[in-house]
């Protein structure tokens, strides 16, 4: 994702964010409290043409909002290789403004963070 360095910077700026590379998936995974809130990947030609060869950021989303975003933005696709009810994948070359992508990243992070235990949330925030 060399063309989009701001995405990695923004994802890693989230409190408690960690990153790894899942070799078998070909994904850079971004997690908080060991739960994934984002993934960056570029699926090969062997996948559905809707995804193949596209630089994607996959983000967790509330199911109703996921459908709304897909209906409003053609570059927002059902989550690649994820539960399509709860994940969207954004085609980064699709022209969606960076601010809209950042807002979706914030929502994904907040959704995942809110599901962590209170103890883990406090550890991440630094209040324990």
Q: Convert the pLDDT of each residue in 13-29 to its tens digit.
A: 999 999 999 998 889 99
Other Cβ atoms less than 10 A from the Cβ of 89: the count is: 25
Percentage of residues of the chain with pLDDT beyond 90: 81
Rounded to the nearest angstrom, the gap between the alpha carbon of residue 28 and the centroid of all alpha carbons in its chain is 10
- Using left for φ > 0, alpha for ψ between -120 and 50, and beta otherwise, residue 33 falls in left
Q: Convert the pLDDT of each residue in 74-127 to its tens digit.
A: 999 999 988 889 999 999 999 999 999 999 999 999 999 999 999 999 999 986
The hierarchical CATH code for the domain 16-125 is 3.90.1150.30
Half-sphere exposure of 35 (CA within 13 A, CB side): 17
The structure tokens 């950021």 sit at: 57
| Beta-bridge partner residues of 28 | 21, 40
């Amino acid at each position: 994702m060399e063309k989009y360095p701001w995405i990695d910077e923004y994802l890693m700026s989230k409190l408690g964010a960690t990153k790894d590379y899942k070799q078998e998936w070909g994904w850079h995974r971004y997690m908080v409290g060991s739960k994934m809130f984002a993934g960056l990947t570029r699926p090969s030609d062997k996948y559905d043409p809707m995804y193949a060869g596209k630089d994607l950021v996959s983000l967790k989303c509330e199911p109703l909002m996921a459908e709304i975003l897909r209906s409003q933005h053609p570059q927002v696709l059902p989550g690649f290789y994820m539960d399509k009810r709860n994940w969207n994948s954004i085609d980064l070359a699709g022209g969606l403004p960076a601010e809209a992508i950042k807002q979706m990243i914030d929502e994904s992070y907040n959704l995942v963070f809110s599901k962590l235990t209170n103890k883990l949330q406090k550890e991440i925030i630094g209040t324990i």
